[in-house]
Amino acid sequence: MKTLELKEAKAKFSSIMEDVLSGEEFALSFDQKHEAFAVIVPYGAWKNTKKEALELWKKRVLWNFQKIGRFPKRNFAIYEILA
């Protein structure tokens, strides 16, 4: 993953989007310290990551349900929104 300063990313936006379409990932930073504040990734990679995170969350909620013997209403509502 390459790190770019925001001003550089703004100047080269079109070429960066072409690179993203070919599968590259970029981190954006404000200054020369390169402390990233955002990431630009291909949609497919983001979607897979989101799906994996949701599956882990579902397992955690179900484990909690089995452990305490009841389904917390708050977790159930969040699960329904994310599912």
Do the strands 2-5 and 26-29 form a parallel or antiparallel pair, or are they unpaired? Answer: parallel
Q: Kindly report, residue by residue over 2-21, the tens digit of the pLDDT.
A: 999 999 999 999 999 999 99
Q: Mean pLDDT of all residues in the chain? A: 76
| Mean pLDDT in residue range 25-44 | 85
Tell me which of 3-7, 58-62, 74-78 is least confident: 74-78
Structure tokens at 73: 């209403």
Position 81 pLDDT exceeds 60: no
Greater model confidence, 60 or 77: 60
Q: What is the pTM of this model?
A: 0.56
d(CA 72, CA 23): 40
| Mean pLDDT in residue range 20-47 | 86
CATH 3.40.1620 matches 2-41 = yes
Q: Where are the domains of the chain?
A: 2-41, 44-82
